[in-house]
Structure 1
Amino acid sequence: MTKLAYIGLGNMGLPMAVNLVKAGYEVYGKNRSQGKEETFAGQGGKVGKSVAQLAKEADVVMTCLPMPDDVENMIMGKDGLLEHAKEGLTIIDFSTVSPELNVKIYEQANEKGVHFLDAPISGGTTGAEAATLAIMVGGDEKVFQEVTPILETVGENITYAGPSGSGTKVKLINQYFVGMHTMAVSEAMHLAAEAGIDRDLLYGVLSKSFAQSRIYDRHYPDFIAKEQYTPGFALELLHKDLRLMSAMAEEANVSLEFGQSITKAFAKAEEMELGKEDMSALYKYVKSK
């Protein structure tokens, strides 16, 4: 049986790892906070292995970490996965980092006889729980085909995007849309309130018109209408993705006028200490202007 390891049991990683357990895989979970490991163990997962042990014993190691530095340190750092990896190990990173970091990891992994795929995900915590995530994969197509059954256990829309870094490029363009739609929802809801239009009435109309979007369907009823912003996906993480998107655009010599203004808006929202709240809390920043 294929032995799996999952490092990063956060809002996305934990339900993904649990779905792998439910599918019958032997899965070892690892997380910085002991509580998440205990939760995973309570749902049938295995815990208690070091990063070195996982790199030597697992057939496939998956990572889902918040920041690029976390990914770089976990995979390429001292006592990281590559330092201890057995030949033939496959590493799948579900995090959103930069295409350049993907290629750097891919090249170092190849030198050690290790396979690496960048496989960023989209679909939120509901998608992670329901195993309906979109997964955009970059790397060697042969390796992608070999691990497709694993990916199909945690996602529904699995796409091979091309060479290393390609999955991340697709994901960053996705995040550009998410940022734009988040700003549009925030400003539209604020405009409605100030213009004396009932927001529930407006949502009932717009959600059945060309203004409908999955972000609107998420942000308004689940967060803005309830005035609660417990993060499903933190604002600071979307801001990080938008910064990466801006860097990708600059590298491609493409000017994104709206992208620049939206990224600045998220930066200002973080200055208001909204970073740990859900990304829909951008509405609070818009209201404050």
Structure 2
Amino acid sequence: MTNSSQVLYFTLTAYFDIGSLKYLYFMMVMCFYVLIIGSNVLLIVVICVNRSLHEPMFLFLCSLFVNELFGSLGLFPFLLVQILSDVHSVSAPLCFLQIFCVYSYAAVEVLNLAVMSYDRYVAICFPLQYNSTMTDRKVALLIALTWALPVLATVVLVSLSAPLRLCGNVIDKVFCGNFSIVKLSCSNTSVNNVYGLVLTVVSIVAPLVLILYTYGKILEILQSRFDLSRVPPLLAIVLSLYFLTCQPLFNPALYGLKMAAIRDACKRLLCGENSAPAAASHA
């Protein structure tokens, strides 16, 4: 093999024979995939058709839900096929396409959560300046950058990996990963390694720092409103870690179906109710 263009397929060795149980696993994964599609499509439609929800917070949520559909499309159909297949292999073009989908999905997800945390930071810490700060133009620009930057960065990542000269085609994973491809290379991968490290820092670490900073500022406001002097130190640490790390991960649920505006809009859409939309909560 002189280069990766001569590798027609990759073999995934992380799968093993489970006999007739594969049909049970197939149904479980299929139900999970349908649930993901149904819930995210419902929320996207609700936000799009209700003009009262065309606010920064909900538009960022809509971007997040679209990304969930994009990421699941790049993974779940592939998993379903592999579960039923007796030969666990994937063509080289499809492998690189999956790398693009999975990596760009992950980068968009973290960056979107960072933008959402910034939106909440401005709304809570600077409520009087919120409307002048989060203008329609700025919201559109943030959403565009949330998608454009990860996509361009992932295109470069795949472009660096695709021409590599490979010495094998066996991947010890259940789906294709860029690092797995790089490990198969017989040529110099210094550029790939450096770019991968820089990409990780820029697309993952930097947004996480922003998330930690914004929620840290929100937590300071919470501490100023409530007397936490009697809270045990260990509990205070746990609460701080929760607000700083877990809260951003729970944003879709906290700002999704649990919000009165979206919940009421879902009821009107599904049940055909004509009641006036509830005021959107910014708490």
What TM-score do you get using the length of structure 1 for normalisation?
0.28
Bigger strand share: 1
Greater helix share, structure number: 2
The structure number with the bigger radius of gyration is: 2
Which structure has more relative contact order (CA 8 Å, sep 6+)? It is: 2
TM-score (norm 2): 0.29
